[in-house]
Structure 1
Amino acid sequence: MNKNIQQDKIRGSLVGGAVGDALGYPVEFIGSYMGIKQRYGEHGITRLDTTQWWLPDGGKSNKAWISDDTQMTLFTACGLLNAKEQGMAPKYAICYAYIEWYFTQIGWRSSRRRDCWIGDVPEINYRRAPGNTCMTALKDVLEGKETYNNSKGCGGLMRTAPVALYGAVWRDKPEGETPEGRISDIKDVDMIAADAAEITHQHPLGWLPSALEAHIIYRLVQNENPTVEDFLSYLSEGYDTLEVLYPKEFDSIKELRRLTEKALSLVDSPASDIGNIESIGEGWVGDEAFAMAIYCTVKYFNDFEKAMIASVNHQGDSDSTGAVTGNILGAVVGYEAIPQFFKEDLELHDVIRHVADDLWRGKTTRYV
């Protein structure tokens, strides 16, 4: 594959996730699709909302805000890149990065490590509805306590795409040899993504979807022109890999597969997207958010805009379902295919694209 195409896919995934996050963030807590329509019109929210955001200093933003979903995604990327540079196991480097994010949320900027330059970006230090599970778990880690919860919330799933994006990049090899990804064994990619999610979410359905998402994105980034059939084969392969890696979690894997198969069965349903999506769930938990993203991706495999609109217009966790859909489908269509109006109105667009390029290069560089 041409390296420029792979770079475009990595940009597409990271920026696409941020677009879905920003599109869904204003409607996340409205509580009903009827309420969304009352605010945004008959078709719900279809464009990034740049009209309602006031900054802590009293100024007004002219961009659509990202939420904690994209904030944590950027710290996942920085932590993963730090792991390589510091010779540290990925899980621990990512955990250190999450602690840095935690400090940005509680106002202790001077107390945090300075391993992640992203924490110096002012917008990253704004609280954007951080998840209670993430905050509590990271507080425990910081205090040296054993972190245990039984949460299967989607707060792990929505932030782990960078693991796949980093690992999938082709390594230079002598002519004639088979190319391979920077992390050549996809099982390692799956496990790193699961480990990153499990830092805060210990129920298997809180981290298994992260492994499956990473598996799919890894394959998509290495396929120049994936088809729906390719996508479905990656999904099936991902489930088989989960069963090998985590045989003790058979029941949870079975439940995740069941919900995903339900989502796929609804793709050709004559019912509306809102009806189909809300029959899957609300997306507050990992398995539901993943299945809802699969529905939107397959239903609108070649139409990023329609997929984004479908992924956020429901009564549940709209920013997270939008983010996961954007991460996956962005790796299909690439950055250049994302509508310009989404990119122009997205907060921190240039910073997010810069981090995507860091993942492609495999090296952290401060955005100037």
Structure 2
Amino acid sequence: MSAAAGATAPVWGRAEQQDFRSRVRGCLLGGAIGDALGAGVAGLTLAQMRERHGTDALGDLVPAYGRPGAVSAATQLTLFTVDGLIRAQVRRDTGAWHPPTDVHRAHLRWAATQRDWGPDERREDNGWLAREEWLYARRDPAKACLVGLGDTVMGTLEHPKNPGADDPAALTRSAPFGLLVGWEPQLVLQLAVECATQTHGDPAAYLSAGALAVIVHGLARGESMDGAVQRAMAQLAVRPGHQPVTEALKHALGAVRQGMPSPALVATLGTGHSAPQALAIGVYCALVGEDIRHGLLLSVNHDGPSDATGTVCGSLLGAMHGETALPPAWLAQLEGRPTLLELADDFAMEMTQGPALHGPSVNTAGWLLRYPRG
């Protein structure tokens, strides 16, 4: 089934709208905090972290890209994923509704930030996000993302881009698909998978992206973490090539029962250099963290790509607990926080109030300038 088919809108009361907005904010801000924590120790082994920061390794934000709280390409791409999802909903009025295309176009706008000096004011279809100057910075993007988005050709499941790429860069931008709470889980999975294949063609990578989206989807609907993971595994079971992702999630659930949470237990799940391992580490740390701070620190204190595993863990914890549970001291230092909040609120407004913003009988001009249909 196409990811563009069959999505229905839920009925929103005021309390439901407020809860949803809190979870959207939590997911985006939490992922960015995890990314910023991990970016400060990216490339270091656990032993090297302990040498620099003490026996408990990393315990706070440390400088990355010139300042504490700076984010990597994972957060940049996540922002553009959200932008693409909003554009898709806005374009639904036109009858030309195909969310994978809109997300792909948004990711191409991100790719422009990696090669241009600054926003191109002549492009009327850029919308507001692509005019944010702080996004025009290279923050260690994965080669597969640069190559896959180096032209305008879209990949497909049958002919994906970079068929050998199994790193976590598609995974770390995929949490926002789970915030489509009015969609059925199988459609959320399909959309995340289709969008991941634009840069990562290994089933382990694109199915990990789909699994994260389904887990976030469950959490955003109020499910438990364990229940959301079980649902994701059930959705994966019919997908060719799902075994590495399913096994990684099983290992994450099994590790919960193996004793007190520790870096040693995290290490049993792998390094995080592959997407299934990064997913497993993020899920495990979100499950066992005594609180959000503890879970996030556990997710970045290991030998692998700490920014990726921190992003996954933070996205899950934020979607589960909402924005008010996030550590205020880390939020205060987070790069791009106003942009993240603005985009999160726009996403929540579009998903809950879309008919009042655009449609056959109403068009809010300012909204369509922010999110052009072109």
TM-score (structure 2 length as normaliser) = 0.83
Is 2:250 aligned against 1:261? yes
CA deviations over 1:196-237 (Å, ceiling 9, x no partner): 1111001111111111111111111111xx5xxx32122112
Secondary structure of 2:149's partner?
helix
Query: What is the identity, as a one-letter code, of the residue corresponding to 1:154?
Result: P
**Secondary structure in structure 2 of the residue aligned to 1:45:** coil
Residues 98-153 of structure 1 show CA distances to partners (whole Å, capped at 9, x for unaligned) of 11111111126438774342221122101100110110111144699983422111
Contact between 1:78 and 1:118, CA under 8 Å: does it hold in 2? yes
1:326 and 2:314 matched: yes
Q: Which of 75, 84, 92 is the equivalent residue of 2:80?
A: 75
1:43 is aligned to 2:43: no
| Match in the other structure for 1:285 | 274
1:121 maps to which residue? 132
Question: CA 1:262–1:122 in 2, change beyond 3 Å: closer, same or farther?
Answer: same
Specify the code of the residue in structure 2 equivalent to 1:203.
Answer: D
Pair 1:361 & 2:349 matched? yes
Distance in 2 between residues matched to 1:216 and 1:52, nearest whole Å: 29
**What SS does the corresponding residue of 1:106 show, helix, strand or coil?**
coil
Asked if 1:95 is matched to 2:111, the reply is: no
What is the aligned-residue RMSD (CA, Å)?
Answer: 2.4
Query: Is the 1:278–1:314 Cα contact (8 Å) retained in structure 2?
Result: yes
Counterpart check, 1:20 vs 2:20: no
Q: In 2, distance between residues paired with 1:33 and 1:232? A: 28
* SS in structure 2 at match of 1:2: helix
**Structure 1 position 272, deviation (Å):** 5.8
Aligned to 1:304: 292
Give 1:271 shift.
6.5
Q: C-alpha displacement at 1:72, in angstroms?
A: 0.1
What's the secondary structure of 2:267's corresponding residue? helix
Q: Is the 8 A contact 2:58 2:297 kept in 1?
A: yes
Aligned to 1:208: 207
User: Counterpart of 1:19 in structure 2: which amino acid?
Assistant: I
TM-score by length of 1: 0.84
Tell me: CA distance 1:53–1:259, structure 2 relative to 1, closer, same or farther (3 Å). closer
Trace 1:143-154 onto structure 2 (pairs within 5 A).
147-154=161-168
Match of 1:176 in 2: none
- Note if contact 1:290-1:321 (Cα within 8 Å) is conserved in structure 2: yes
Equivalent in the alignment of 2:19: 5
CA distance in 1, matches of 2:256, 2:229: 15
* CA distance in 2: counterparts of 1:113 and 1:280, whole angstroms: 46
Give me the whole-angstrom Cα distance separating, in 2, the residues matched to 1:52 and 1:156: 22
**In structure 2, how many angstroms separate the alpha carbons of the residues matched to 1:147 and 1:293?**
25
Shifted more, 234-243 versus 303-312: the winner is: 234-243
Partners of 1:6 and 1:324 lie apart in 2 by 19
2:8 maps to what in 1?
none
* Structure 2: distance between partners of 1:242 and 1:113: 40
Look up the equivalent residue of 2:108 and give its one-letter code: I
Distance 1:43 1:353 in 2: 32
Amino acid at match of 1:267: V
Contact 1:141–1:147, Cα closer than 8 Å, also in 2: no
CA contact (8 A) 2:144 2:162 kept: no
Does structure 1 retain, via aligned residues, the 8 Å contact 2:104–2:154?
no
Matches within 5 A, 1:134-283: 134-141=145-152, 147-165=161-179, 167-168=180-181, 181=182, 183=183, 185-223=184-222, 226=223, 230-244=224-238, 246=239, 249=240, 252-270=241-259, 273-283=262-272
> In structure 2, how many angstroms separate the alpha carbons of the residues matched to 1:124 and 1:361?
23
**2: CA distance between counterparts of 1:265 and 1:219?**
20
Q: Mean alpha-carbon deviation: is it higher for 255-264 or for 120-129? A: 255-264
The answer to whether the 8 Å contact 2:127/2:370 transfers is no
CA distance in 1, matches of 2:64, 2:166: 31
Structure 1 residue 94 displacement after superposition: 0.7
Name the structure 1 match of 2:46. 33
The one-letter code sitting in structure 1 at the alignment partner of 2:70 is: W
2:278 is aligned with what amino acid?
Answer: A
Q: Which runs of 5+ in 1 are unaligned?
A: 55-60, 169-180
CA distance in 2: counterparts of 1:146 and 1:160, whole angstroms: 17
Identity score, percent: 28
C-alpha change, 1:187 and 1:11, in structure 2 (3 Å) is same
Checking the alignment, whether the CA contact within 8 Å between 1:75 and 1:116 is kept in structure 2 is: no
The 10-residue stretch of structure 1 (40-49 or 106-115) with the greater mean CA deviation from structure 2 = 106-115
2:304 is aligned with 1:295: no
In structure 1, distance between residues paired with 2:203 and 2:89: 27
CA contact (8 A) 2:74 2:169 kept: yes
The offset of 1:7, in angstroms, is 1.2
**Partners of 1:277 and 1:25 in 2: how far apart?**
18
Aligned length: 332
The 8 Å contact of residues 48 and 346 in structure 1, kept in 2 or not, is answered as no
Whether the 8 Å CA contact 2:160–2:201 is kept in 1: the answer is no
